[in-house]
Amino acid sequence: MAEAAQCIVRKNGFSDKIKIINKHSTDVTVGPDGDMQEKANLLITELFDTELIGEGALPSYEHAHHNLVQADCEAVPHRATVYAQVVESDLLWTWTQLQPVEVNGTRLVPPPAVGRCAGAHSVCDIQLSQVSPTSFTPLSPLCTMFSLDFSKLVSSAPQFHSSRFTAQSGGRAQVILSWWDLHMDPSGTIVCSMAPSWTYPLPKLAPWRDHWMQSVYFLPAESLVTAGDELSLTVCHDDYSLWYSLQPHRQQEVLSESPPPRPCCTCQAHLVWTRPRFGELNDRRRTESYAGALRSVLREDSVCLSISDGSLLPVFAHMLGAKKVFSLENTRMFKQVIEQVLEANSMRGEVELLEIRPDQLTSNDLRGEQISVLMGEPFFSTSLLPWHSLFFWYCR
């Protein structure tokens, strides 16, 4: 990138005015023999991601103010502000919690550990403009969570900020929708906003954002909210990521002494299933389609082999009456998650889980059984691109 920049500068005749320094900013030196002869009075950056601080903006700005710029410098962008809104959304909640499903008149329930788990710690970045407002119910107004003035010293130390609000609707507080905007100049006349299109009076005129999108954060556990409740929404951050918590405002003083820890998966399911994968597993129409397909081929003497990672198809096959079901699991973690599902539904041992790759499978692993039904989904943990799911045909 530095070489391309030097080429562009040279071809446009700016070599005597623009100096390209091929270093990370924290390695730049200032002084007579340094990369810069004096400290700068204008700091221009693009250090942001969908979560604002996820590309190391805070430590980079902190270092720059200590080492590279003058005390009265101006920064472009000048300021960033983070906004958040508490919502109830069955759609979004299915991206983080496994839901019960009925197959052949029997209810399959999620493992208790999954329901208690706070979920994955990473942000879910999506195009909120493509999520219909009918898919969620706002429980709070849009809250201003915190601002960063980049022309002043910025700290990368862990911090938290709270916003008090009165619940405008009752429901289950499940999800935080969040985005940010940039004031490019000190007066705030030039604003670059990441707000989704449905926040605009004329949504069709909203600018499309592709590199920077919006964020979805899942609360560690859903909580009931009544219209009129006085609540506090708290955002915590370290130097790279954000996380949220919601509590009654009367508990805010307790929170100030001990901010909520960063959520961490304790059930393993959130480590092996992505948010889209949770959504697939919770899609009732998808489940019904798979169950219908299995019904059309299963018989009482069917011996089934599943070759997709962390799939519920082998569980469905057992529930639909297959004689014997084997499932290949690519990793021990996938195997342990499916074991939890079987245990929670009193099916322990009913599906034989083999921690082995398809190309390593032998007749001894199948205990001499002859496979009559091979099943799988277009999902494998090693898939990076859509056509990688064609691995199913290779396995066959």
Same domain, 93 and 118: yes
Mean pLDDT, range 261-274, rounded to an integer: 94
Same domain, 261 and 343: no
Mean pLDDT, range 37-41, rounded to an integer: 96
Out of 272, 303, 324, pick the residue that ends a domain: 272
Report if residue 63 sits inside a domain.
Answer: no
CB of 86 closer than 8 Å to CB of 53: no
Same domain, 151 and 179: yes
Q: Three-state SS for 385?
A: coil
Residue 253's pLDDT band, with cuts at 50, 70 and 90, is low
Same domain, 218 and 155: yes
46 is known as an active-site residue? yes
Same domain, 256 and 335: no
Report if residue 50 sits inside a domain.
Answer: no
Among 3, 46, 257, 300, the one annotated catalytic: 46
Report if residue 368 sits inside a domain.
Answer: yes
What would the DSSP string read from start to end of 183-242? E-STT--SEEE---GGGSSSGGGSPP-SSS-EEEEEEEEEEEE-TT-EEEEEEEE-SS-E
pLDDT for 249 equals: 85
Report if residue 36 sits inside a domain.
Answer: no
Report if residue 355 sits inside a domain.
Answer: yes
Q: Which domain holds residue 106?
A: 79-272
Same domain, 189 and 300: no
pLDDT for 128 equals: 97
Question: What CA–CA distance (Å, rounded) separates 222 from 387?
Answer: 36
Give the pairing type, strands 79-88 and 137-138: antiparallel
In angstroms, what CA-CA distances link 94 with 31, 52, 90, 99?
A: 56, 25, 6, 7
Out of 272, 295, 330, pick the residue that ends a domain: 272
The total number of structural domains that make up the chain: 2
Same domain, 127 and 212: yes
What would the DSSP string read from start to end of 64-96? HHHHTEEEEEEEES-EEEEEEEEEE-HHHHTTT
pLDDT for 255 equals: 63
Least confident span in 243-252, 305-314, 367-376: 243-252
Least confident span in 251-260, 354-363, 387-396: 251-260
CATH number of 202's domain: 2.70.160.11
Same domain, 205 and 287: no
Same domain, 178 and 225: yes
In angstroms, what CA-CA distances link 44 with 7, 64, 151?
A: 21, 11, 10
Same domain, 152 and 132: yes
pLDDT for 210 equals: 87
Same domain, 255 and 387: no
pLDDT digits (tens, 9 = 90+) for 182-238: 999 999 999 999 999 999 999 999 998 888 999 999 999 999 999 999 999 999 999
Among 3, 51, 55, 343, the one annotated catalytic: 55
Of 177 and 331, more confident: 177
Same domain, 268 and 287: no
Q: Is the pLDDT of residue 251 over 90?
A: no
pTM of the predicted protein model:
0.92
Out of 221, 237, 272, pick the residue that ends a domain: 272
Mean pLDDT, range 251-264, rounded to an integer: 76
Residue 290's pLDDT band, with cuts at 50, 70 and 90, is very high
Residue 254's pLDDT band, with cuts at 50, 70 and 90, is low
Question: Radius of gyration over alpha carbons of the chain, in Å?
Answer: 26
Q: Three-state SS for 124?
A: strand
Report if residue 113 sits inside a domain.
Answer: yes
Looking at the chain, the whole-number percentage of residues with pLDDT higher than 90 is 87
Report if residue 31 sits inside a domain.
Answer: no
pLDDT digits (tens, 9 = 90+) for 122-173: 999 999 999 999 999 999 999 999 999 999 999 999 999 999 999 999 999 9
102 is known as an active-site residue? no
pLDDT for 156 equals: 95
Q: What is the DSSP letter of 36?
A: B
Q: Is the pLDDT of residue 358 over 90?
A: no
Mean pLDDT, range 87-101, rounded to an integer: 97
Q: Is the pLDDT of residue 47 over 80?
A: yes
Residue 389's pLDDT band, with cuts at 50, 70 and 90, is confident
pLDDT for 256 equals: 64
Report if residue 116 sits inside a domain.
Answer: yes
CATH number of 380's domain: 3.40.50.150
Closest CA to 245 of 176, 178, 179: 176
Question: What CA–CA distance (Å, rounded) separates 265 from 337?
Answer: 12
